[in-house]
Amino acid sequence: MSEMRDLKATTMPLLDSVVERLCHPSSLDAVWHRPAQGAAMPSLKDLTEIMERLRAAIFPGYFGSARVWRESMRYHLSANLDTIYRMLCEQIVRGFCFGCAGDSNPCTSCESDGEKAAGAFMDRLPEIRRLLAGDAKAAYEGDPAATSPGETIFCYPSMQAMLHHRIAHELYELNVPVIPRIISEMSHSATGIDLHPGATIGEEFFIDHGTGVVIGETCVIGRNCRLYQGVTLGALSFPKNADGTLTKGIPRHPILCDGVTVYAGATILGRVTIGKGAVIGGNVWITQDVPEGARILQERPRA
């Protein structure tokens, strides 16, 4: 007991000093964040559950703990969507509060904006399912190792990445703060595929293998495009404002027209356009427009 008292006597002044330094404005101001109205931060646990429930709603029979028969589909789907809406609404409201400057000027719109965005998102679920069904079709038709579209839905990292992206992109388009990025990073952590929620991706999109793919915020990808592992669709440079800060929101990533294929390890940078049906070979570096139907390959080794 005496040793314990001695230890406390030694450590308490140290801990008091640490607390004092961590609470000092010079340390705290750089990391402190308090959402408007003291709202809670978005919950990673709840967002994970929402994504699991959305996956089961979009792909019934593949995911979820309950066995779902077609005859009872309406019952299961209604109950699931009701839970999704209530949970998502709360998280979106928290997202609006996270991005709100309402501390000094009390905000009354976060809750109404969140409810409106949640309703608009739910209305888009049939279209999200249609797009994901097309992605599964593209994965099956584009990979000779795939035995069925269902195998790609259940197993392929590309489909997990696209599920998260199609959902996150809709929320991004609804101007929901922070939540789309959280959803995208969930998939990034699991698959190694880095898709910014702002990227616009057309129908029947497939990433084969997938690890190391990077698609930037302002990318525009057309219909029926295919990428392989290690592809980067990134920015060539980052313009700055007069005060030296980076200029946000300007188009700075590539445009891929319909039917473009980009093979493993290729890097395409800047606001360049890759023409319809073009093929970009592995490990090439592109910083200029590529015409329709072109084939850009590495130079053959010379003797």
State pLDDT tens for residues 37-94.
Answer: 678 899 999 999 999 999 999 999 888 876 778 888 898 899 999 999 999 999 999 9
Which of 191, 223, 256 is the last residue in one of the domains? 191
Asked if 239 and 246 count as a contact pair (C-beta separation under 8 A), the reply is: yes
Cα torsion 290, 292, 298, 300: sign: negative
> Are 39 and 110 a contacting pair, CB within 8 Å?
yes
Helical residues (DSSP H) of the chain, grouped into ranges: 2-23, 25-28, 44-58, 73-98, 110-123, 125-142, 149-155, 157-173, 179-191
pTM assigned to the model:
0.91
Is 204 within the bounds of a domain? no
**Domain assignment of residue 242, given as a range:** 212-303
Confidence of residue 102 (pLDDT cuts 50, 70, 90): low
Give 101's pLDDT tier (boundaries 50, 70, 90): low
Alpha-carbon distance 221 to 235, whole Å? 15
Asked whether residue 278 is domain-assigned, the answer is: yes
As a whole number, mean pLDDT of residues 181-193 equals 98
Number of domains in the chain: 2
Q: What angle do CA 24, 29, 35 make, to 5 degrees?
A: 125
Asked if residue 217 and residue 92 are part of one domain, the reply reads no
pLDDT at 215 over 70: yes
Is a pLDDT exceeding 70 seen at residue 298?
Answer: yes
Residue 245 domain-assigned (yes or no):
yes
220: domain CATH number is: 2.160.10.10
Among residues 242, 203, 238, 241, the alpha carbon closest in space to that of 217 is found at 238
End-to-end Cα, the chain, rounded Å: 81
Query: For 235-286, how does the pLDDT look when each residue is reduced to its tens digit (9 = 90+)?
Result: 998 888 888 888 888 999 999 999 999 999 999 999 999 999 999 999 999 9
Across all residues in the chain, what is the average pLDDT? 92
Same domain, 125 and 43: yes
Which residues on adjacent β-strands are paired with residue 256? 221, 274
User: Is 220 contained in some domain?
Assistant: yes
Q: Taking 60 as the threshold, does the pLDDT of residue 134 lie above it?
A: yes
Same domain, 49 and 95: yes
